[in-house]
Structures are given as C-alpha cells and as structure tokens.
C-alpha cells in the first residue's frame, strides 16, 4: 500500500485503524481466519451494525480484504481476511505513534498468552500430533535479521493460505479445528539500540 496524495496516507490510515478497540478486536479475530461481520458479531458479542461499520473502516484502511461472498437468507454475506500486504507491519508502521504500536503489540501478546493458558487448562496444547509451544533465542547480525524477516513473512503467508483453503472447503461454516499459531521476532531487552537500524 503506497502513500496517499498528501504523503502521509498510510500513516493516517493505520492510526485510524487502531484508534478504536472494536477495530483492534476485529483484527484479532480475523487473525484466526476468514470471517464475516455476522460471525464476528457473535464471537465478539457486539451488535452487528457496530461490527459491520468498523469492518468497513478496516477495509477502507487496507488492513483487511474481501475473501469471498456467500448467499444467505436472501442476502449476501461477506467474508474478510487480513490483508497480506496491509499497513500493519509495513514499512510505514514505525510512523504510527508509539503508544498505538505498543498497545497493539501488548494486546496481541496478551491474547496469545490467554489462549495458550486456556489450551493448557483444557488439555489441548499437546492433544494433537505436532502441537506444542516452543521458542528459540538466536544471535544474528544485521543481514541475519533481514533474512529472518523474510522467512517469517513467508511462514505467515503460508499459514494464512492454509486457513483460507480450509475456509473454502468448509464454505464459510465456523465448524473446524481452532488452532493458534504464533510467529514472532523481536530484539531482546538489554541489547544496545541503534535508531538507524533497518
């Protein structure tokens, strides 16, 4: 997504996208896979009109994209997914006020932690072959960091592609295996920080 005519279009769009807690929650839910305002309304527990409005705002900001439509009860239900090249995490992401970036990151981490604890309590963390939690501290140079970013971007796109194909096979039904996958990379505390780093 490029800059707007005024030169700061992306930045303002990202600020707008994260300026309302319901929009942040919609983004959280769409991280789980494709969904419609109707489905999101039920999961979030908010009126359909509110969810539809804020979904349209996110669509206009380029944070989400239309995945597919499905006829339902004389109407057309629209299903959305996170935009693979959306503004969040893009080159202009650092132009968003730090408070908003920090809030988005902290709520993401809190949501993941809560889901992991719930899964441990329910006994589902290791109930399927290949499931589990792991983390790996690494020591890389600047070139290594750039390579990690490319790998992580590729992995995330692959995850989303799997979810989208699953949604196509299920024709938008919410039944399925709710899976939490995590992709993260950040500099650990205690390292010297160089503002000129890419």
User: 34-68 pLDDT, tens per residue?
Assistant: 899 999 999 899 999 999 999 999 998 888 899 88
Domain-wise residue ranges, the chain: 9-170
CATH of domain 9-170: 1.10.10.10
Nearest-angstrom CA–CA distance, 3 and 1: 7
Average confidence (pLDDT) over 160-173: 76
pTM greater than the 0.75 cutoff: no
pLDDT of residue 97: 67
Nearest-angstrom CA–CA distance, 87 and 95: 11
Average confidence (pLDDT) over 135-155: 87
pLDDT at 121 exceeding the cut of 80: yes
Nearest-angstrom CA–CA distance, 94 and 65: 22
Helix (H, G, I), strand (E, B) or coil at 12: helix
Burial class (CB in 10 A: 0-12, 13-18, 19+), 59: middle
Could you identify the residue written with the tokens 């949604």? 167
């Amino acid at each position: 997504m490029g800059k707007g005519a005024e030169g700061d279009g992306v930045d303002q769009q990202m600020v707008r996208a994260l300026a309302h807690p319901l929009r942040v929650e919609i983004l959280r839910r769409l991280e789980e896979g494709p969904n419609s305002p109707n489905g999101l309304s039920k999961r979030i527990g908010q009126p359909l009109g509110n969810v539809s409005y804020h979904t349209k705002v996110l669509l206009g900001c380029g944070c989400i994209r239309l995945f597919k439509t499905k006829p339902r009860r004389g109407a057309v239900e629209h299903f959305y997914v996170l935009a693979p090249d959306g503004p969040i995490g893009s080159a202009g992401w650092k132009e968003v006020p730090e408070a908003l970036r920090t809030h988005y990151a902290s709520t993401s981490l809190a949501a993941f932690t809560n889901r992991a604890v719930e899964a441990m309590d329910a006994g589902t963390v290791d109930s399927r072959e290949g499931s589990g939690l792991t983390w790996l501290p690494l020591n890389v140079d600047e070139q290594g960091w750039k390579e990690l970013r490319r790998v992580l971007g590729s992995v995330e796109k692959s995850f989303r592609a799997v979810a989208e194909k699953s949604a196509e096979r299920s024709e938008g039904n919410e039944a399925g295996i709710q899976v939490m996958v995590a992709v993260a990379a950040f500099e650990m505390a205690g390292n010297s920080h160089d503002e000129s780093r890419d």
